[in-house]
């Protein structure tokens, strides 16, 4: 039997680039820590008003689980706005444009799981918001 345990105090957080004055996003990469060979996983923390880059993955499906807060996501082309609260999730198939946003006054914490892992970076698209 084999397993790995990751406790909140053990997470390493990295602040992602943003324009001056924009709210920040932070990520804690989990894939290597938990030994995923055929998937990717990260925690993402969004400050109030923070937004991710609109993008699409060619081969990777992604599942976004809301741990805390409310996630607003713009999906498809043209973008359709979807909102889900704590305990909810949004599953996105490969090839679907998406953009994650925290449109609330509270922090947003997400667990994001993707498979299969891609060697290439996602295609960056024009922002939906």
Residues 11-54: tens digit of each pLDDT: 999 999 988 999 999 999 999 999 999 999 999 999 999 999 99
Q: pTM value? A: 0.95
Which position has the higher pLDDT, 75 or 1?
75
59: region left, alpha or beta (phi > 0 left; psi from -120 to 50 alpha): alpha
Confidence of residue 1 (pLDDT cuts 50, 70, 90): confident
d(CA 38, CA 27): 20
Q: 129: buried, middle or exposed (CB in 10 Å: 19+, 13-18, 0-12)?
A: exposed
Whether the predicted pLDDT of 68 surpasses 90: yes
Domain ranges of the chain: 38-116
CATH 2.60.120.10 is held by the domain 38-116: yes
d(CA 18, CA 24): 6
**Phi, psi at 8, each rounded to 5°:** -50, -40
Give the rounded percent of residues in the chain with a pLDDT score beyond 90.
94
């Amino acid at each position: 039997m084999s397993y790995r345990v990751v406790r909140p105090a053990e997470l390493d957080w990295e602040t992602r680039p943003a324009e001056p004055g924009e709210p920040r996003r932070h990520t804690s990469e989990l894939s290597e820590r938990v030994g995923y060979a055929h998937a990717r996983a990260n925690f993402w923390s969004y400050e109030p008003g923070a937004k991710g880059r609109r993008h699409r993955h060619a081969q990777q499906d992604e599942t976004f689980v809301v741990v805390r807060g409310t996630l607003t996501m713009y999906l498809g082309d043209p973008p359709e706005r979807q909102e889900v609260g704590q305990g909810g999730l949004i599953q996105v198939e490969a090839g679907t444009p998406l953009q994650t946003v925290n449109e609330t006054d509270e922090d947003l914490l997400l667990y994001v799981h993707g498979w299969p892992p891609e060697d290439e970076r996602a295609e960056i698209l024009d922002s939906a918001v």
